[in-house]
A and B are shown apart, each in its own frame.
Chain A
Amino acid sequence: MISVPIEWKERFDLRRFFRGEKAVDGPIRLTHRRVFIAPNRRGFGLAVLLAIQFLAAINYSNNLAFILTFLLAGIAMQSTLYAFRNLAGLSVRRGKAPPVFVGEPARFELHLDNPSRIHRHGLSARLAGAATTIRFDVSPESTATLTLHAETETRGWLPLPTVTFDTSFPLGWFRAWSPINLRQRALVYPRPAPAGIEPPAIPEPGSGTRLSHSEEEDFYGFSGYRPGDPLKRIHWKGVAKGQGVHVKQYAGGGTAELALDWQYTPGADVEARLSRLCRWVLDAEAAGTPYSLRLPGVVIEKGRGEAHRAHCLEALALFGT
């Protein structure tokens, strides 16, 4: 597994205990360098208990009381090793991070490989800033896949925040944790504006002005299915009869295509305009209408389908960044 050398300055930076090291592509193996351990509140509670037991043992000169106290101290010492071992040797790989719209939680997938024959119990993972933790176990010689959710507030690239794995297994007296920074990011599209405003007519020859797909329009004919065609236009009866997949074509209201242009988009500010454009892209895609997108400095030619939509949304997400 990868093990990038660490600079001396970073090595002695106490913040490393919580923020982790610089982001790398991974996979990251959790070693002694990345796993930290400290007693938690219950551990301090145990220390108080041991102190009381020790005093009682001295007061009554009771050797069995000494023995039980020392045994518990020994168990506590063992539990630090167990807690460390519970994390040590795991390796973390990044998984998918599909794009989302602002407001939706970004989903980061992580793969945790356990190459050893040890069952890892009672692990949890948490993204920095997130409120919830995920609890999970990893069986011996297997991989656990976790999906962590991060809040999204702005469009653009959202880097994977620090992921902290931790465990209090087995006894809950010590917490072993490991903050991990993987070079992973999720694309956050602008928040789609509410439906309502139709795309404005653009005074340009050859381009349509209306988004038109109402059922009242005239049926025009069939064409072969292309990926990206809306499902609701598929001629399902034909599919059922084994005639292959065809898509119904409608005519009317001029040509069924749409030019989306920043310049003609209403909106109070940049974000509002991008939101509006985002809504139109989604609607056009849902309607199966080919559309082009024009932003300052970006021109995306007319097209349709998943890849085209992704291309347009990415341009919107990254506009101005």
Chain B
Amino acid sequence: MTHPPLPSELLRRNLPLLCAALALVVSPHAADLPLDIPGFVWLACGWRLAALYRKAPLPSRISLFLLTLAGAGLVYVHFHKFYGREGGTALFLVGLGLKLLEMRSLRDLYLVIYLALFVAVTEYLFSQSIPIAAYTLGVVTLLMSCLIGLNGGESLSLAGRLRLGAKMVMQAVPVMVVLFLFLPRIAGPLWKLPEDEPGGRTGLSDSMEPGAISRLGLSRETAFRVDFEGALPPPQERYWRGPVFWQYDGRRWTAGYDEPLPARRPPQAAGASYRYALTLEPQRRRWVFPLETLETFPAELTRVEDGFLLAAEPIRERRRYVLSSRPAAIFDALSEGERRRALQIPGMPDERVRELVNGWLLENPSAEAMAQKALRHFREEPFIYSLRPPAIAGDPVAGFLFDTRRGFCEHYAGAFVYLMRVAGVPARVVTGYQGGHWNPVGHFLEVAQADAHAWAEIWIDGDGWTRFDPTAAVAPERIERELEFAAGADGAVVFASPVAQALGDRLSSLRGLMREAGLMWDAVDHAWVQWVLAYGPEDQGRFLERLGVVDWNRLVYWLTGLLGLLALISFALLWPRSRPVADPALRLYLRVAGKLERQGLVRAPAEGMRDFATRVAQTRPDLAEPFGRFTALFLAIRYGGRVQPAALERLKALGREIPSR
């Protein structure tokens, strides 16, 4: 099928805006893809505009073919495939550039715009931040303005096009909200995601080796955010449980199993309960980090024997889980296999370690007393908490305990568990996060990657697994810092000169302002994540249930009802209104004229009122008398000087005498 070519006038009027919109729609991809991919589209835009203004030739059929090969080659060189998040997006971008160059008919132009709208969506696969959302919204407005330009006449200025485009986008927001809330969601993915690695994301690792967590220690990136329903647990209870390490090979701590075991016998919870919603940032793992001890959790998650949660798939998008925990828990006995694993050490311990532990064993054989001894050892000996510990030669535990004595949570937790095992106390390493920053603006706890932590648990008969945090013995401030933003007393530096003091004060108040703005932004971002990005099939189910929408019929009623209502409202707002008639007498006259019109008596535009009355009298003798009187009084009121209320009443009465049919 052939399509009519684009009128050159239409193209001339609309191409600049279109090229601007296309150049902008691909720009955010410059951050996610190699620069030459969006560059390909920028080049195409430039070429097309040059062809318009400079009368440069557009690419010939052969050059187009070569350009297609070049574009496909570009994608292949970078990604070695044409599908997947990066490869697929790059292919769409290159296709957009090519289609722009070979755009000939109006149909092609629409295809270009549809491709651009799809490219706008692909950007969300890389970033879902508020700025990106606002940016794409702006670009969509530009694309809509292009369509308006194509369909409107020449009388529509560029400003008029942009204004109408923005207006239409704004007016579509209520419909979007209704669809977003009500249109049934299907849980994805529909097809297998090609191994899309959300590149370069930090997070806990599945083994512990000195140095792994310290890298996280420098990252302010959010790991997850927690909204509490009700009370916040005290700082010493804010331990977010992650993977547990049982196996030590002399250097690395690992889980000691390939796949965590599902919980056989969940510990019985007791004591005060905390209900909270965890909004997890994307990570490469399936881990969800609950508080101790987990009580309730969504069915899609699995509780594992070690006390944390596993999702079915790696958590690639932000997810929100509602959980509850009770810090106190009751366990039954430790199985033989578990005891063996919890006492495992590779080879013989170092001489100095054996000596130390034997000293403790002589004094008191209870597990808890042993742990206290170890903690006291850390506290009383010159141990230093440091994120940059020196390298350890030889046996890592002995080297740390007796030579360097500088380290952070990994060193302390690892050494503590090792000591316990040497002393015959079942012990294990727990990793996860500890603490978090309270955001007073949004009332939530923000847990950063920097809060990643490792601690130890020992088995105490009768009490079960009991947490000991040797890091706290060395650096209690690392654990017990509370609401660090609430104080706001820091930064009060004393300066010698008054000018410097004033500047310093100004600076510190500016810093305070910045920090407040930062908190505010965190709060907005959290609200965005919670209410917009994390709204999934489960949230929708809960929302609809609360409205009483339980079956398809009712859902259809709600959807059609709400959309219909919105359509009616916009219709009422959009309806063309004629200018209201100010003169009450004229208003009455027009109403009566309307009555006559419905009976086929139409006053011609040029026909005077008196002439019209005469004509009415001729065609409808029955109306001659009432309409004649009505017209006479109307003319007297309208052109006869002052209007008296009584005369208007009389006119109204006369008007009523004219029959409607």
Contact = CB atoms under 8 A, between A and B. Distances in A.
Interface residues of B, number: 67
Nearest to B605: A93
Contact of B152 (A57, A116, A121): A121
Contact of A171 (B144, B153, B176, B577): B144
Interface string A110-152: 0000011111011100000000000111010100000000000
A174 to B, nearest CB: 10
Given A58-B185, A117-B579, A137-B153, A67 B180 contact: yes
B172 A71 contact: yes
Interface in B73-111: 107, 110-111
A71 to B, nearest CB: 4
Contacts of A73: 172, 175-176, 179
A223 interface: no
Given A58-B190, A75-B168, A78-B172, A49 B153 contact: no
Contacts of B121: 53, 56-57, 65, 68-69
B141 to A, nearest CB: 10
Interface stretch (B323-331, B359-367, B530-538): B530-538
B357 interface: no
Contacts of A53: 117-118, 121
A72 interface: yes
B394 interface: no
A65 B155 contact: no
B124 A68 contact: yes
B347 interface: no
A79 B144 CA distance: 11
A64 B576 contact: no
Contact of B169 (A3, A71, A139): A71
A2 interface: yes
Contacts of B62: none
Nearest to B129: A64
B189 A60 contact: yes
Interface stretch (B377-385, B595-603, B608-616, B628-636): B595-603
A62 B114 CA distance: 19
Given A1-B597, A85-B575, A168 B602 contact: no
A280 interface: no
Interface in B422-464: none
B523 interface: no
Contacts of A56: 121-122
Interface stretch (B337-345, B546-554, B563-571): B563-571
A10 B175 CA distance: 35
Given A55-B190, A77-B567, A122 B151 contact: yes
Interface of B: 107, 110-111, 114, 117-118, 120-122, 124-125, 128, 132-133, 136-137, 140, 144, 147-148, 150-156, 164, 168-169, 171-176, 179-180, 183, 185-191, 193, 317, 532-536, 563, 567, 570-571, 574-579, 597-598, 600, 602
27 contacts: A27-B602, A45-B110, A45-B111, A46-B114, A55-B190, A56-B122, A59-B191, A60-B189, A63-B533, A65-B125, A67-B133, A68-B121, A71-B172, A74-B171, A74-B173, A74-B176, A77-B172, A77-B563, A78-B168, A78-B171, A88-B575, A115-B579, A117-B576, A117-B578, A136-B153, A139-B155, A171-B168
